[in-house]
Amino acid sequence: TGAPEQCHCMEWLPGLCFLSHISITLFMDLQAVLPCELYPVEFRNLLKWYAKEFKDTLLQEPPAWFKPYLFCKLGFQVPFFPIATYAFLKGSFHTMMTLIPLFSTFLFEDFSKASDLRLHERLTPVSVYAPYLLIPFILLIFMLQRDKKKKMRETTTGPG
């Protein structure tokens, strides 16, 4: 009985990833582009604490490219993720591409002008964002294996 339970958990993990991403986007990320009056002081303080504690330079002082990126999240991801969560629970879906510009900024951007971030300080925000890359990647592998097993069954027993 252990294998089906493990499989079942793997199916719910990306759904939880979508749900957590919705709240993080709405309550944290979008503070960089929406009027501060929309957010209670607790959320503003949480963002300040997070950005300072985890050295998230994208949210401390958003670069010029990051604000349009956040507007895209507002216009596309925020409406899409509830649909993706539902679709995933009914079928499947994955997203990973939006993290590429974030990781490349933290890992390869020249911060020497603005601050003196050491490697471990660059890796801290990467570790915060990493689950949103790894969970969809795990889902992708899971889906590919499931499809492969399904095709093998159909080849052996016929469709249906």
- The answer to whether 29 touches 59, Cβ cutoff 8 Å, is yes
Is 12 or 65 the better-scoring residue by pLDDT? 65
Question: Which of these, 97, 96, 109, 22, lies nearest to 57 by C-alpha position?
Answer: 109
Q: Give the total number of structural domains in the chain.
A: 1
Return the sign of the alpha-carbon dihedral for residues 28, 66, 63, 118: positive
The pLDDT assigned to 4 comes to 46
Asked whether the whole model's pTM tops 0.75, one would answer no
The pLDDT assigned to 53 comes to 92
> Each residue of 13-62: pLDDT tens digit?
666 777 788 888 899 999 999 999 999 999 999 999 999 999 888 888 88
Domain that holds residue 34: 2-157
> Each residue of 82-123: pLDDT tens digit?
776 666 665 544 455 666 677 777 777 765 655 666 777 778
Q: Distance between CA atoms of 49 and 70, rounded to whole angstroms?
A: 20
The pLDDT assigned to 105 comes to 74
